[in-house]
Structure 1
Amino acid sequence: MTDYDYEDLGLVAGLEIHQQLDTETKLFCQCPTTIREPAASDRSFTRYLHPTKSELGEIDAAALEESMVDREFEYLAYDTTCLVEEDDEPPHRVDREAMEVALEIAQLMDMTVVDQTHVMRKIVVDGSNTSGFQRTMLVANDGEIDTSEGAVGIEDMMLEEESAQRVEETDAGVRFSLDRLGIPLVEIGTKPDIRSPEQAREAAERIGMLLRSTGQVKRGLGTIRQDVNVSIADGARVEIKGVQSLDDIDDIVRNEVGRQVELLAIAEELAERGGAVGDPVDVSDVFADTDSGVIGGALSAGGTAMAVRLAGFDGLVGREIQPDRRLGTELADHAKRHGAGGIFHTDELPAYGVTEAEVEDLRAAVGAEPQDAVALVADDPETADLAIEAVVERAEDALAGVPEETRDANEDGTTRYLRPLPGAARMYPETDVPPVDPDPSEVETPELLTEKVERYQSEFGLDAGLADQVAYGRRMPLFERAVEMGVDPTLAAGTVESTVTELRRDDVPVENLTDDHFVGLFALLADGDLAKEGVPDLLTALAENPGLSADEAAEQEDLGSAGEDAVREAVSEVVERNADQVEQEGMGAFSALMGECMGALRGKADGDVVSDVLREEIQKRA
């Protein structure tokens, strides 16, 4: 990977962090915020969406392009789905719990809370909202966080409803699940203060830590998403959507910087060559007898082959601008937005069944010279026309350099074209929800996770590693509750972290364990009805039989805590069975007999107690 001088390139970056809140109900209705399996859906309905004009009579460019793709949207509904989620009833008042969590987050980032929040509608016609818009409101602005490379300003924080979950692409369009739609979500936008990929990642990590410090944000894949805005001095602002992992942010920024550097170099080369983009030409006759399966299949189905001359583009369409992605890939991404499977271009031909002779005839058909490239789309007539026009528009952008746009993050740290950058024309007031007067004095500033780590070490005696695991782990509230119940802190911490991890590695279905399971287990420990050695067995039983309570599982597995008499009886039996070994080895037999004693007691007794009794019994016979 190329090592760039980001200061010299004039890198400017900002973040938008989207975090789901862990509230009881959704933002504008009383439906639960639980994610369901699509198979649990008991009905569905379909919608077609189209863009509307703003109050000023404008239509947002991103919404307009999205509406040009003719798609049906199917929504999976559940027994908990209400009329608000279906957009058949006006939204209710803003959820009070969600607003309180948002105010806590604002305090952690030293933000100024607005005097009054007004709900706005943000046009979204990709199907992810049944209404065709997302409801959002400004809660606070003008905050700041610290990084090792300097402070990063927080521009604003919005409280908004989460979109529907995309389940799959269908022949008719897209299928969504309504379980996620309406979950409260905060969107935190930084100022463009970030100057390196490393600072971008550090800022995201800091914001993530502050969010988790509230103890009221959802955890797991898809519950937090990072959008990254990147530009360099001679490039353009590009918004990269849907970065799922913090580990990917620095790579995303590096790759986008590299893409813009390469696009600027291509534009410079095209300027020297006198680059230009021609008009689309129907070249179906060139491929009348082709052996290319893609082109031949399209033509035999009544389709057309459309091509365009890219003057001066020879060798540049195939030029890599991101790892394993080329300018030709960019052209293809735009064509795919209109239903085409992709494009062919002369930097990669002859190939895919296209012969050298067909390439020569193709060049002749569009009047291409040696320094020119040709791009080709074969599909049904309407798709081919729309796709080749999209290729023309993107090729014309290449003459200027870097286009402003919204891109989608790929798993490998690269990005692909998604849509134009949205503008202000997609926002207008929501008239069905009254304003809210937020009062920051009603909420307390939560303890930071970094402060918890320090407190767990000083107050509870946890080592640094375990304290960090517990504080940042999703079961941190359970740990604190266990300590309040009187459970040894190290045992409680090890139970929610180390023991669960070990059981998962042994293929125990720990995902079935609930908070109630842990609370019940800790109650048994606190009351002396369960030895610490029985914790793994009890958790295993609960994971494999999630319908049982901790008391029921302990009884089923016979995991009650053994009294001193029972321990002494079991140890004496073990020593008696191994009398010869004890006589010969004395205390040297301790280790082997200790394991046998613990096995005989099956986790019913504390190891320290068993150890003391065993030493006594061996000394009696030594």
Structure 2
Amino acid sequence: MYKVSEFSIDSIGLKVGLEIHQQLATNKKLFCNCKPIESEEYSIKFQRKLRAVKSELGEYDPAALFEKSKSKTIVYYANSESSCLVEQDEEPPHNLDNNAKELALIIATSLNSKIFNEIYPMRKSVIDGSNTTGFQRTMLISQGGKIEVNGETIGVQSICLEEDAAKLLGDKGDIREYSLDRLGVPLLEIALDPVEGDPKKIKNIALALGRLLRSTKKVTRGIGSIRQDVNVSVKDGGGIVEVKGVQQLDQLEKVVEFEAKRQYGLVKIAEKLKNSDFKGISKSENVFDITEDWKGCQSKIIQKALKDNSTIKAIKIENFSGMFGYTPFEGVRLGKEIGQLVKFYGIGGVFHSDELPNYGIEEKDVLIVKNILKVKQNDAFLIIAAPSSKIDFVIDSIISRLLEAKNGVPAETRLATQTGETVFLRPRPGASRMYPETDIPPISVTNKELENAKKNIPKSWDESLLELQKKYELNPQLSEQIFDSRYMELFEKVIERIKINPTFVASILCSTITNLERNGMNSKLLTEENIIKSFQLLEEGKIAKESIEIIYESIMSGKSQTIDEALKNASIEAVDETKVEQIIIDIIEKNQEIIKNQKERSIGPLMGIVMKELRGKASGEIVNNLLLKNIKKKLENMGL
């Protein structure tokens, strides 16, 4: 039984539908010949304002309207090596990349999914700025299919081939910045049927599907190259919540657990509201402008809002006292939900009556509001400060969210955080966001292409793992770790170029780097070129095995940018055996008491002292042999 501290997940009717988004390693983009090269130098800069438009049925998509309400200016940065006029929306898309199409058909066939004879490119409205066009091009390749996970059959809903989005660089105030390096990279979306189960089961399903994709050896690896979206619901919750941006499996398990707790908590809040006298909120009768009345408020937050010419409004909610602070489970409160909602409009936050006086707002300020609103004992109120251009739209959203609270869980899109929680992102999109692509004709799938896909179905994960074990003489655990890691291709590249022990290389890539990451260091600073060069230096005898962790630590901490710089900063240089032995003899002389008491067992504590002194300048094997030899010699001299 999978338990959260307050309840059992098995008892709440948790359902999760997984969507896997995997970049394909075709070395070019989906509708042009640009290579997906990530850069930090941009020679092109331009900006856009995106707006929502009606669908062919004359309807606006709710997610598009929400993004439009933020009034963001989108600034794009591009490099001519990784993007062209197609990404800038200044030129029509070129022909579909055949390699991406071929790979999509192979994966669809591997999952026994029914492939369509004709593929119709569609436009999916996206106006958060992540696409310069205001839409994402996507194609439904197949429907149906299955994958076996631990003896259970999990159904496949659909498989789509689409463009990846631009990379978010920053979002501050009314400006949002993107890089076009990633925009247009081929992306395969696999949507699975919803399943009942606990977070560990969901993680295992994602792991199995990820392994199938990696078995093709034609998918991109590394952080950001595979992302999981999850659709989560609980029994009696009401709406389905889509959580986006889960990049790691451990994070996925935490996200599902958190979302299960949050949604079950919202169900508890709804039950409490249904048993209360809360009826609703009238915008015309229950919203008051208190800007002038609060000019004397000494809160720094309010004073800053007044200085910025913001409007301050209060919302009276009758028979709602205590509901904002009610906490069915730790971290689950309606006040927190409302706070996250307004933050995504670019507004700092909202105050509610269950937490006041606080934040520099004094009792006299609260009394002013209560008198204006004519608040009764069982009533609650909210206070929000925002630019006049946004405040009414935000208030509409707050009122709508409070009314939805009575029904349980609102259908919305949320964003996964690194800690495994989720925050409000936008409303769920509607059917009106998808419409036909007019610049690309339908794409045929021939019988020859289908036959080719059947011939190229990848080996199973078990077969691939066994092949890896035999080829590189790795143990089963290390084989599994390197296969699942983002370093598999790099591992094979190192072994191919350099005569070095595969077990040692796999251990460095899977354990050493991971341990440094756990200590808060950034593996993104450690380039592929740096890793290859470190093993080359080891092969040439210019550094010891022990130096590699010191070098990586220097680079991943930001102290050094290159291997040469790391060697200099860490004072690492190869030391010959004669010098190593002299250092060992000196240390033995200083620690004769340890040798006298522990005899040959003294090699343990002395080994630590010697290795600390040498700091990666000699291998542990050489140090161990020389230390043992000189300890024995010392014992003979001491007559022991």
Please tell me whether residue 384 in structure 1 is matched to residue 381 in structure 2: no
What aligned pairs does 1:537-556 form with structure 2 within 5 A after superposition? Answer: none
Q: Taking structure 1 as reference, are residues 29 and 323 closer, same or farther at Cα in structure 2, changes over 3 Å only?
A: farther
What aligned pairs does 1:155-166 form with structure 2 within 5 A after superposition? Answer: 155-166=157-168
Does the Cα contact within 8 Å between 1:256 and 1:414 map onto a contact in 2? yes
Does the Cα contact within 8 Å between 2:47 and 2:75 map onto a contact in 1? yes
Deviation, structure 1 residue 188 = 1.0
The C-alpha deviation readout for 1:523-544, integer Å capped at 9, x for no partner, is: x98xxxx789988889999999
1:284 maps to which residue? 291
- Give the one of 457, 463, 473 matched to 1:451: 463
CA distance in 1, matches of 2:513, 2:330: 39
Please tell me whether residue 28 in structure 1 is matched to residue 51 in structure 2: no
CA distance in 2, matches of 1:269, 1:122: 39
Corresponding residue SS for 1:104: helix
Please tell me whether residue 356 in structure 1 is matched to residue 363 in structure 2: yes
What aligned pairs does 1:95-114 form with structure 2 within 5 A after superposition? Answer: 95-114=97-116
Deviation, structure 1 residue 200 = 1.2
Deviation, structure 1 residue 77 = 1.3
Deviation, structure 1 residue 475 = 4.5
Deviation, structure 1 residue 514 = 3.9
Q: Taking structure 1 as reference, are residues 108 and 87 closer, same or farther at Cα in structure 2, changes over 3 Å only?
A: same
1:117 maps to which residue? 119
1:343 maps to which residue? 350
Does the Cα contact within 8 Å between 1:138 and 1:157 map onto a contact in 2? yes
2:405 maps to which residue? 398
CA distance in 1, matches of 2:126, 2:562: 41
Deviation, structure 1 residue 5 = 4.2
- Give the one of 271, 275, 285 matched to 2:274: 271
- Give the one of 249, 253, 257 matched to 1:254: 257
- Give the one of 498, 501, 520 matched to 2:508: 498
Deviation, structure 1 residue 477 = 4.4
What aligned pairs does 1:399-418 form with structure 2 within 5 A after superposition? Answer: 399-418=406-425
Corresponding residue SS for 2:131: coil
- Give the one of 17, 36, 39 matched to 1:14: 17
- Give the one of 515, 519, 526 matched to 1:511: 526
Please tell me whether residue 42 in structure 1 is matched to residue 43 in structure 2: yes
What aligned pairs does 1:605-620 form with structure 2 within 5 A after superposition? Answer: none
Does the Cα contact within 8 Å between 1:123 and 1:132 map onto a contact in 2? yes
Please tell me whether residue 441 in structure 1 is matched to residue 451 in structure 2: yes
Question: Which letter does structure 2 place at the counterpart of 1:463?
Answer: N
The C-alpha deviation readout for 1:75-114, integer Å capped at 9, x for no partner, is: 0011223100100000011111112222232233232222
Question: Which letter does structure 2 place at the counterpart of 1:60?
Answer: D
The C-alpha deviation readout for 1:265-317, integer Å capped at 9, x for no partner, is: 22222222211324311123442321122223323544332111112221110
CA distance in 2, matches of 1:346, 1:390: 19
User: How high is the TM-score relative to the length of structure 2?
Assistant: 0.78
Does the Cα contact within 8 Å between 2:482 and 2:510 map onto a contact in 1? no
Q: Which 10-residue stretch deviates more, 265-274 or 495-504?
A: 495-504
The C-alpha deviation readout for 1:458-481, integer Å capped at 9, x for no partner, is: 565432223223433445446557
The C-alpha deviation readout for 1:368-394, integer Å capped at 9, x for no partner, is: 221111001123333333322222121
CA distance in 1, matches of 2:211, 2:164: 21
Does the Cα contact within 8 Å between 1:75 and 1:176 map onto a contact in 2? yes
Q: Taking structure 1 as reference, are residues 341 and 212 closer, same or farther at Cα in structure 2, changes over 3 Å only?
A: same
CA distance in 1, matches of 2:398, 2:416: 21
Deviation, structure 1 residue 8 = 3.8
Corresponding residue SS for 1:153: strand
1:176 maps to which residue? 178
Deviation, structure 1 residue 355 = 1.7
Does the Cα contact within 8 Å between 1:470 and 1:493 map onto a contact in 2? no
Q: Taking structure 1 as reference, are residues 269 and 476 closer, same or farther at Cα in structure 2, changes over 3 Å only?
A: closer
Q: Taking structure 1 as reference, are residues 193 and 534 closer, same or farther at Cα in structure 2, changes over 3 Å only?
A: same
1:585 maps to which residue? none
The C-alpha deviation readout for 1:121-179, integer Å capped at 9, x for no partner, is: 00001010000000010112212122347322111111110111110124432011111
Q: Which 10-residue stretch deviates more, 131-140 or 47-56?
A: 47-56
Does the Cα contact within 8 Å between 1:165 and 1:181 map onto a contact in 2? yes
| Number of residue pairs matched by the alignment | 562
The C-alpha deviation readout for 1:318-345, integer Å capped at 9, x for no partner, is: 1236643521121122223333211111
Corresponding residue SS for 1:136: strand
Deviation, structure 1 residue 201 = 1.2
What aligned pairs does 1:464-483 form with structure 2 within 5 A after superposition? Answer: 464-477=476-489
Does the Cα contact within 8 Å between 1:259 and 1:321 map onto a contact in 2? no
Q: Taking structure 1 as reference, are residues 470 and 401 closer, same or farther at Cα in structure 2, changes over 3 Å only?
A: closer
Q: Structure 1, unaligned stretches of length 5 or more?
A: 549-556, 560-569, 579-587, 615-622
What aligned pairs does 1:155-234 form with structure 2 within 5 A after superposition? Answer: 155-234=157-236
User: How high is the TM-score relative to the length of structure 1?
Assistant: 0.80
Q: Structure 2, unaligned stretches of length 5 or more?
A: 565-572, 586-599, 630-640
2:312 maps to which residue? 305
Question: Which letter does structure 2 place at the counterpart of 1:82?
Answer: C
Question: Which letter does structure 2 place at the counterpart of 1:53?
Answer: K
Q: Taking structure 1 as reference, are residues 452 and 314 closer, same or farther at Cα in structure 2, changes over 3 Å only?
A: same
1:581 maps to which residue? none
Deviation, structure 1 residue 197 = 1.8
Q: Which 10-residue stretch deviates more, 426-435 or 448-457?
A: 448-457
Deviation, structure 1 residue 505 = 8.0
CA distance in 2, matches of 1:260, 1:508: 33
Q: Taking structure 1 as reference, are residues 385 and 457 closer, same or farther at Cα in structure 2, changes over 3 Å only?
A: closer
Corresponding residue SS for 1:74: strand
Question: Which letter does structure 1 place at the counterpart of 2:87?
Answer: E
Deviation, structure 1 residue 209 = 1.2
User: Rg: which structure is higher?
Assistant: 1
CA RMSD of aligned residues (A): 3.9
Question: Which letter does structure 1 place at the counterpart of 2:47?
Answer: T
2:590 maps to which residue? none
Question: Which letter does structure 1 place at the counterpart of 2:319?
Answer: G
CA distance in 2, matches of 1:502, 1:226: 26
CA distance in 2, matches of 1:508, 1:294: 35
Deviation, structure 1 residue 501 = 5.9
CA distance in 2, matches of 1:540, 1:255: 37
CA distance in 2, matches of 1:440, 1:603: 57
Does the Cα contact within 8 Å between 2:23 and 2:185 map onto a contact in 1? yes
Please tell me whether residue 63 in structure 1 is matched to residue 64 in structure 2: yes
The C-alpha deviation readout for 1:226-279, integer Å capped at 9, x for no partner, is: 111111221121111112221122222222222222222222222222113243
Question: Which letter does structure 1 place at the counterpart of 2:414?
Answer: R
Does the Cα contact within 8 Å between 1:145 and 1:154 map onto a contact in 2? yes
Does the Cα contact within 8 Å between 2:234 and 2:260 map onto a contact in 1? yes
Question: Which letter does structure 2 place at the counterpart of 1:363?
Answer: K
CA distance in 2, matches of 1:223, 1:503: 19
Q: Which 10-residue stretch deviates more, 474-483 or 206-215?
A: 474-483
CA distance in 2, matches of 1:350, 1:385: 25
Q: Which 10-residue stretch deviates more, 419-428 or 511-520?
A: 511-520
Deviation, structure 1 residue 397 = 1.2
Q: Taking structure 1 as reference, are residues 321 and 336 closer, same or farther at Cα in structure 2, changes over 3 Å only?
A: farther
Percent identical residues: 35
CA distance in 1, matches of 2:360, 2:534: 65
Does the Cα contact within 8 Å between 1:111 and 1:141 map onto a contact in 2? yes
Q: Taking structure 1 as reference, are residues 499 and 302 closer, same or farther at Cα in structure 2, changes over 3 Å only?
A: closer
Question: Which letter does structure 2 place at the counterpart of 1:495?
Answer: V
Does the Cα contact within 8 Å between 2:104 and 2:188 map onto a contact in 1? yes
Deviation, structure 1 residue 72 = 0.6
